[in-house]
A and B are shown apart, each in its own frame.
Chain A
Amino acid sequence: MEIDAFRAALDEWLDEHEAALAPSHAGLGTLDEEMAQLAKVRRLVYDAGWSRYGWPERVGGLGGSGLLRAYLGEVLTARDLIEAGIYSMPEVLAPTMIDFASEALAAEMVPKLLRGDEVWCQGFSEPGTGSNLAALSCRAVATDEGWRVSGQKVWTSLAQYSARCVLLTRTGDADSAHRGITALFVDMDSAGISVRPLETMHGLEEFSEVFFDDVLVPFDRTLGERDRGWSIAMDLLPYERSTSLWHRGAFLHRRFGQLLSTVDPEALDPRRVGEVAQLLYAFRARSRATQRRLAMGETLGSETSIDKLLVSTAEQAVFDLVAEGLASAVTIGDDAQSRRWRAEFLYSRASTIYGGTIEIQRNIVARRLLELGSDR
Chain B
Amino acid sequence: MDAADLELFERSLRHALADHEGPGLDEALEALGWRDALSIEPQTAVAVLFELLGAENATSSALDQVLTAAAGLDDEGAACLLLPPLGRTDPPGQLQDGACVIRGLAGSSLHHRDAVVVVARDASGGCVALNVAKAELEVRPIEGLDPALGLSELSGTIPLGSHASELGAADWSAAVAQGSLALGHELVGAGRAMLELARSHALERVQFGRPIGSFQAVRHRLSDSLVAIEAADGLLAAAWEDGTPLTASMAKAFAGRSARTAAGHCQQVLAGMGFTAEHPYHRYLRRVMVLDQLLGASSSLTRQLGEDLLGDRRLPSLFPL
Binding site for B on A (CB under 8 A): 3, 7, 67, 70-71, 74, 253, 256-257, 260-261, 263, 265, 268-275, 277-279, 281-286, 288-289, 291, 306, 309-310, 359, 362-363, 365-367, 369-370, 372-376
The 9 residue pairs across chains A and B that have the minimum distance between CB atoms: A270-B306, A274-B306, A273-B306, A285-B238, A274-B302, A366-B219, A274-B305, A365-B223, A286-B234
CA of A283 to CA of B234, assembled, Å: 8
Q: Which residues of chain B are near A268, meaning CB under 8 Å?
A: 306, 310
A292–B234 Cα gap in the complex (Å)? 13
How many Å lie between the Cα of A367 and that of B223 in the bound state? 9
Task: Select from chain B the residue with minimum beta-carbon distance to A252.
Answer: B315
Q: Which residues of B contact A365 (CB under 8 A)?
A: 223, 226-227
Task: List chain A residues, Cβ under 8 A from B234.
Answer: 282, 285-286, 289
Q: Within 8 Å CB of B235, what residues of A?
A: 278, 281-282, 285-286
Q: Does chain A have a CB within 8 A of B138?
A: no
| Contact with A366, one of B220, B254, B304, B305 (Cβ below 8 angstroms) | B220
Which residues from B are CB-within-8-Å of A265?
310-311, 313
Q: Which residues of A contact B314 (CB under 8 A)?
A: 257, 260-261
- Nearest CB in chain B: distance from A132 CB, A: 14
B305 touches A278 (CB 8 A): yes
Known contacts A281-B318, A285-B235, A288-B321; 17 further A-B pairs (Cβ under 8 A): A7-B321, A256-B315, A257-B315, A260-B309, A261-B313, A265-B313, A274-B253, A274-B309, A275-B302, A277-B309, A285-B239, A286-B235, A363-B219, A365-B227, A366-B213, A366-B223, A372-B213
The count of A-to-B residue pairs whose CB atoms sit within 8 angstroms is 150
CB distance from A78 to the nearest CB of B (A): 9
A259 — nearest CB in chain B belongs to which residue?
B315
Question: With A260-B309, A260-B310 in contact, do A277 and B315 touch (Cβ < 8 Å)?
Answer: yes
A362 to B218, CA, bound (A): 11
B303–A270 touching, CB < 8 Å: yes
Write the B163-203 contact mask toward A (1 if CB under 8 angstroms, else 0): 00000000000000000000000000000000100010011
Taken together as a complex, chains A and B put the C-alpha atoms of A289 and B321 apart, in Å, by: 9
Chain A residues closer than 8 Å to B321, beta-carbon distance: 3, 7, 67, 70-71, 74, 288, 291
Chain A residues within an 8 Å CB radius of B226: 306, 365, 369-370
- State how many angstroms separate the Cβ of A336 from the closest Cβ of chain B: 22
B49, CB-defined interface residue at 8 Å: no
Is B7 close to A, CB under 8 A?
no
In the assembly, what is the distance between CA of A253 and CA of B316, in Å?
A: 9
Q: How far is the CA of A272 from the CA of B202 in the complex (A)?
A: 33
B39 part of interface (Cβ distance < 8 Å): no
A171 to chain B, nearest CB (A): 31
| B237 on the A face (CB < 8 A) | yes
Q: Is the interface of A mostly helix, strand, loop or mixed?
A: helix
Tell me the B residues contacting A by CB distance below 8 Å: 195, 199, 202-203, 211, 213-216, 219-220, 222-224, 226-227, 230-232, 234-235, 237-239, 247, 250, 253-254, 257, 299, 301-307, 309-315, 318-321
Chain A: CB-nearest residue to B302: A274
The answer to whether B304 touches A274, judged by C-beta atoms less than 8 angstroms apart, is yes
Once A309-B227, A363-B216 are accepted as A-B contacts, the answer to whether A370 and B222 lie under 8 Å apart by CB is yes
Query: Which of chain B's residues have a CB closer than 8 A to the CB of A74?
Result: 321
A310 touches which of B202, B231, B306 (Cβ 8 Å) = B231
Chain B, Cβ-Cβ closest to A376 = B214
Q: How far is the CA of A142 from the CA of B250 in the complex (A)?
A: 58
Q: Which residues of A contact B230 (CB under 8 A)?
A: 286, 306
Task: Output the nearest chain A residue to B220 by Cβ-Cβ distance.
Answer: A362
Chain B residues lying within 8 Å of A285, measured Cβ to Cβ, are: 234-235, 237-239, 319
A270 touches B310 (CB 8 A): yes
A285 to B255, CA, bound (A): 14
Chain A residues lying within 8 Å of B232, measured Cβ to Cβ, are 282
Minimal beta-carbon separation of A87 from chain B (angstroms)? 17
**Bound CA span A270–B306, Å:** 4
Known contacts A270-B306, A362-B223: does B254 contact A278 (CB below 8 Å)?
Answer: yes
Q: How far is the CB of A51 from chain B (nearest CB, A)?
A: 16
| Cα distance, A69 to B224, chains bound together (Å) | 30
Give A265 Cβ to nearest chain B Cβ, in Å: 4
Q: How far is the CA of A282 from the CA of B227 in the complex (A)?
A: 11
Asked if A362 and B219 sit within 8 Å, CB to CB, the answer is: yes
Looking at the assembled complex, report how far the CB atom of B51 sits from the nearest CB atom of chain A, in whole angstroms: 17
